[in-house]
Amino acid sequence: MESFKNIEILDLPDITSLTFKKIHRDYLKVLLGSVCLITLVVIVALFVVNYNFQEVLPDFISYVYLGLFLVFILIILFIWIGFSRRKFSIREKDISYKSGVLIKKTTTVPFSRVQHVELDEAPISRLFKLASISVFTAGDSSDDLVIKGIKKTEALKIKEFISEKINE
């Protein structure tokens, strides 16, 4: 019978020394444009409701608009700060992605666990020739790693690189 060994690892790899690449700056326009579009729809809906039910709505409707404006500003600030923290790195055997403002998250997926890779183009992102890459691993029904805001040409190269690695 073979003896069991469980050797302690003292020299761990340092992921903080990785060179992470930033998401394309046009993706910030996509994020801000989406928020502005949603906010515009909400404001128009509030105007319609306010116009049709003026006698029913209380006088403090202006505070609702002010609150909506403040929430809009906070969301814009959150997106602005969070955008600069979205970065990815591709190494020989894995892909890493980090993001987050309040909760910072770094996800690393080894190519040996990747089942398939998808390239997605959302309608607004397509205007800026941007795409997102979704990496799926074994044993899970959802995507394990999604990198949004990459130029489509670069995303195609990354997808091809990962596909070659998983088919080796």
Residues 92 and 153 in one domain: yes
Residues 61 and 92 in one domain: no
Residue 20 has which token pair? 């992470």
Q: Radius of gyration of the chain from Cα atoms?
A: 22
In a domain, 66, yes or no: yes
CATH number of the domain within which 162 lies: 2.30.29
Name the helix (H) or strand (E) containing 83. helix 61-83
Residues 160 and 92 in one domain: yes
Closest Cα to residue 29, out of 82, 87, 80, 102?
A: 80
Residues 95 and 76 in one domain: no
pTM of the predicted protein model:
0.80
Residues 77 and 104 in one domain: no
Residues 128 and 158 in one domain: yes
Name the helix (H) or strand (E) containing 78. helix 61-83
In a domain, 9, yes or no: no
**pLDDT above 80 (res 87):** yes
The per-residue pLDDT for range 27-48, each reduced to its tens digit, is 999 999 999 999 999 888 888 8
The per-residue pLDDT for range 93-139, each reduced to its tens digit, is 999 999 999 999 999 899 988 999 999 999 999 999 999 999 998 87
Residues 70 and 115 in one domain: no
Residues 154 and 92 in one domain: yes
Name the helix (H) or strand (E) containing 139. none
Residue 106 has which token pair? 């770094």
The whole-number pLDDT of residue 57 equals: 63
Question: How remote is the C-alpha of 31 from its chain's centroid?
Answer: 10
Residue 159 in contact with residue 133, Cβ under 8 Å? yes
| Residues 168, 20: Cα–Cα separation, whole Å | 25
The whole-number pLDDT of residue 89 equals: 94
Query: Which residue segment(s) compose the domain that 101 sits in?
Result: 88-166
| Residues 152, 136: Cα–Cα separation, whole Å | 19
Q: How many domains does the chain have?
A: 2
